[in-house]
Amino acid sequence: MIGRIWRQLIFLPTLAWNVLLGRVLTVRKWWHRIDDHVVLGALPFQRDVPALEQLGVRSVVNTCIEYAGPDEAYRRHGIRHLRVPTVDFAPPTLEHIDASLALMRETAAAGHSTYVHCKAGRGRSATVVMCWLIEQHGMTPAEAQRQLEAIRPHVNHQLDQRSVVREFYQRHLQRQGS
């Protein structure tokens, strides 16, 4: 209970910090293209949706529990929206990762991109994208970590150590071997 209240209290100040860094001072990019089919970034506002559409984004994976997203703008621009609500500073579940990757694969097969986001595009969403890199590009968690850091330097620097990433990777190896 206290943890939930604490997370709700810090959401707006930390979002304001992200806006300051990304939109006012522009010392961080709001999003980065990771590969031909994935864009990783911070939570999109309604005004961002046309730019995402211009990038070829036709689906969004929203890992925020605290932010529903601009659903009406997505509908107007023909963008599918999957919400896999995950508590800030915690990794998504394996089930949420699987659901996210299913949408990402479907979108990529149609020749389009998926925008994967959390509040800052550093932890929850980056975990999903790390699993994409493992599955689609044959990377190890350490290789995916290096790739993400090279493209989006402010991602969490220990994503590859998360137990859900290790579990995903082991399951991926087992499926590759069978």
pLDDT cut 90: percent of the chain above it:
82
Average pLDDT over residues 21-36: 85
Burial class of residue 31 (count of CB atoms within 10 Å of its CB; 0-12, 13-18, 19+)? buried
Residue 28 above 90 pLDDT? no
Rounded (10°) angle between helices 163-177 and 141-151: 120
pLDDT of 44 above 80? yes
pLDDT in tens, 68-95: 999 999 999 999 999 999 998 899 999 9
pLDDT tens figures, 111-121? 999 999 999 99
Confidence class for position 167, pLDDT limits 50, 70, 90: very high
User: Quick one: pLDDT at residue 1?
Assistant: 58
The tens digit of pLDDT for each residue in 120-133 reads 999 999 999 999 99
Whole-model pTM: value is 0.92
pLDDT exceeds cutoff 90 at 23: no
Answer whether residue 2 shows pLDDT above 60.
no
Instruction: Write down the pLDDT at residue 98.
Output: 99
pLDDT > 90? residue 136: yes
pLDDT band at 158 (very low <50, low <70, confident <90, very high): very high
Catalytic annotation, pick one of 118, 128, 131, 134: 118
Q: Which residues, at least 6 apart from 124, have a Cβ–Cβ distance to it below 8 Å?
A: 63, 64, 86, 88, 90, 91, 92, 118
7 pLDDT band (50/70/90 cuts)?
A: low
What is the enclosing helix (H) or strand (E) of 107? helix 94-109
Query: What pLDDT score does 177 carry?
Result: 86
- Contact status, residue 157 vs residue 149, Cβ threshold 8 Å: yes
Task: Say whether 118 is catalytic.
Answer: yes
